[in-house]
Amino acid sequence: MQKEKTFHQDRCVAPSAIAFTEREGVPRYKTPRSLSIKEIGDVVEAFKNGAIRAQKAGFDLIEIHGAHGYLISTFLSKATNKREGEYRGAQKTDFAY
């Protein structure tokens, strides 16, 4: 039987070094490494470049999944983003509309 391991297991990153937990409150995933400011810029650039490639390939729309512990959701959550400043976790007023 093969030990469960994913391609990204040793390269997991997040806004803060906090493992994502689901409803039970028990971490099921490896604790990520916190991204540097430069790396955050690199991630934003990679998303932008992906959207440009999709547009050039003829797509009219892209969907960016930002839930369930994916990188975008970890930046939006106060539980997984303990950064200060520009990339801080969501605040009460951030989503007021």
Take residue 24 and report the two structure tokens written for it. Answer: 């039970």
Ramachandran angles phi, psi of 27, nearest 5°: -60, 130
Q: Which entry of 8, 29, 68, 87 is annotated as an active-site residue?
A: 68
Q: Which entry of 8, 29, 65, 87 is annotated as an active-site residue?
A: 65
Catalytic site residue 8? no
Catalytic site residue 65? yes
Take residue 65 and report the two structure tokens written for it. Answer: 């999944």
Catalytic site residue 70? yes
Q: Which candidate, 47, 79, 75, places its Cα nearest to that of 63? A: 47
Catalytic annotation, residues: 65, 68, 70
